[in-house]
Structure 1
Amino acid sequence: MKVKDLMPRKRADVTVKVISLGEKRQVIGKDGSSHQVVDVLVGDETGCVLMSVWDSNINKVTQGKVFAIEDGFVSVHRGSMRLSLGRTGKMVETQGTFEVNTQNNISNKVVEDERRRY
């Protein structure tokens, strides 16, 4: 799968290169536990997307590294698509030589979150 093919609220296997990292933030989970999260811009030759990287995975991520995202999940946050590992996903460092298409940032496209709110 390629970045341009990512769909909201779907699982995804995609290989991406890290373009840039945002600021590390501390957040409190629903269970009251403390976590760290960083928004990372990742992409491939078809486009780029923001990826939320949590806790111990933050130290693995540096600009220019390539990762195979296995069983990732595309969520919608404030109308923007985000790639994450979800509960079952894995992030494995791999090799890859490709230029990232930063002109097609799919996180900048407004997406309706069709999930039911209860």
Structure 2
Amino acid sequence: MSSVKIGTQKLKVRELKPRSRADVTVKVVSLGEKRSVIGKDGSSHQVMDVLVGDETGSILMSVWDSNIPKISQGKFFTIEDGFVSVHRGSMRLSLGRSGRLIETQGTFEANTQNNVSNKVVEDNYRRFR
């Protein structure tokens, strides 16, 4: 019996939408500054924003803690169970709760002309407590 992934599909960067879950293969274009943040649980974490993309577009990706050392400019990764969030009107790609960052091979150039993080989007999702 084969395993079935629920909730994710293989997408290109230009197809990503707010709150979507997807598997996507990207190339690391540039690295931002690593910074320390305090999580909801009060613990300290490291985070770095990285511009990644494929031949259809690019997006900012938030990389956390133990995944930061894996990232370097020019490397290719498959993001399994990626999640698209909206931060200050800008789409961001991150790993879902069970997400994985897998180094892979690639030959494409990232399309930085279509940076989907530069497009202002609305996130109509409301959190109820």
Instruction: Sort the TM-score into its range (normalised by shorter chain).
Output: over 0.9
Q: Hey, which bits of structure 1, 4+ residues long, moved more than 4 A?
A: none
Q: Which amino acid aligns with 1:19?
A: V
2:90 matches 1:52: no
Quick check: which has more Rg, 1 or 2? Answer: 2
Give how far 1:117 is off: 4.2
1:41 and 2:51 are equivalent in the alignment: yes
Identity of matched residues, %: 80
The 2-side partners of 1:101 and 1:53 are apart by 20
Calculate the aligned-residue CA RMSD, in Å: 0.7
Among 39, 42, 67, the residue aligned to 1:29? 39
TM-score normalised per structure 1:
0.98
Q: Which segments of 5 or more consecutive residues in structure 1 lack a partner in the other structure?
A: none
Counterpart amino acid of residue 29 in structure 1? G
Residue 86 (structure 1) shift: 2.4
Pairing 1:10–2:27 present: no
TM-score, normalised with respect to structure 2: 0.90
Which of the residues 87, 112, 129 maps onto 1:102?
112
CA distance in 2, matches of 1:17, 1:42: 5
